Copies of this chain bind each other. A is one copy, B any other.
Amino acid sequence: MPPRPRSDRRPGRRVTLSREQIVETAIAVLDRDGIGGLTLRGLAAELGGGLGSVYWHVDGKAELIELACDELIGRALEAAGPPGGAAADVPSPPMEVDLETSDPVVLDAVDRLRRMAMALFWQLDRHPWLAVQSQAAFAGGSNGLLVWERLGRPLADLGLTPRQQFHGSTALMGYVLGVASVMAEQGAGADRERSQEEQLEDVVEGWLADAPEELTWVRSVADEFVHHDDVAQFSAGLDLLLLGLVRQALAG
């Protein structure tokens, strides 16, 4: 067939976009299709607008992802509640290690650290693409600095030296991002249809088929891996780090 005799649709405005709306939709797409599924063309289509329009509001794909990360980190900050200490909208399993102290200052500091770390992880776990990307965004985005501040303050209250505070804060940050990243990659090719444990069983089977003998320890924990719980696993490791920090503070 011939092209339309007259193009009754020439370039021009159709919908109105906003920076916030674009970031919002980008987050939705990222949650649905993962980092590889975010396409500027697809995003524009989802918004009902043109490709060039997106570029007018956002500088490029890199900045868009940075904005999305900063937005979610901000929500984590919000979910952690005020620094003072009100309860937050994040899971908070009880500590499973004995801190061997009843100093209220120490216990309060540990509680604040725990709340911030859990809130951050909670957000990273619900947006698996975020963990990998945010490692860059933490230094750039403004909310990343706020998180760092809220991790550092309690460390100062513990009486650690400035260097210990610095090392402790980066250790916590690295731990949170690292565990979340590994979990995100691990659940990357997940199939929403089948149960998680069933899929993990297949993963383990794939491991143990290729490299059979010698890996006796890995085999011994395969069962733990299949039946693991992300939050509990993260919380357990976090407790170890916090216990180390407390011991370091009390020994100083």
Known A153-B217, A217-B156: A237·B170 in contact at CB below 8 Å: yes
CA distance A185 to B139 in the complex (A): 9
A241 surroundings in chain B (CB, below 8 A)? 171, 175, 237, 240-241, 244
Q: Which of B152, B167, B175 meets A236, CB within 8 Å?
A: B167
B182 touches A174 (CB 8 A): yes
Cβ of A176 under 8 Å from chain B: yes
Within 8 A of B (CB), among A175-192: 175-182, 184-186, 188
Contact with B along A123-162 (1 / 0, CB 8 A): 0000000001001101100100110110011001000001
Tell me whether A248 and B240 are in contact (CB under 8 A). Answer: yes
A245 interface residue, CB < 8 Å from B? yes
Neighbour of A162 across the interface among B146, B175, B220, CB < 8 A: B220
Is A163 positioned at the interface, with any CB of B under 8 Å from its CB? yes
Verify if A218 is at the interface (C-beta below 8 Å from B). yes
| A202: interface (CB < 8 Å) | no
**A139, A178, A216, A228 interface centre (most CB from chain B within 10 Å):** A178
Closest to A163 in B: B224
Q: Among A4-12, A22-30, A203-211, which stretch is in contact with chain B?
A: A203-211
Point out which of A132, A164, A182 has the most chain B C-beta atoms below 10 A from its C-beta: A182
Q: How far is B36's CA from A136's CA once the two chains are assembled, in angstroms?
A: 14
Partner of A145, one of B135, B171, B218, B233: B218
Contact B148 A236 (CB under 8 A): no
Complex interface bits, A220-252 against B, C-beta within 8 A gives 1, otherwise 0? 110111001000010011111111110110010
A74 contacts B by Cβ under 8 Å:
no
A178-B181, A215-B145, A217-B153 known; A244 and B251 CB under 8 Å?
A: no
Q: Is A59 an interface residue (CB 8 A)?
A: no
Of all chain B residues, which has the CB nearest A221? B166
**B169 near A221 (CB under 8 angstroms)?**
yes
Known: A139-B186, A139-B203, A162-B220. 13 other contacts (CB 8 A): A135-B181, A139-B185, A162-B223, A162-B224, A170-B182, A174-B181, A174-B237, A175-B179, A178-B178, A239-B244, A240-B245, A241-B241, A243-B248
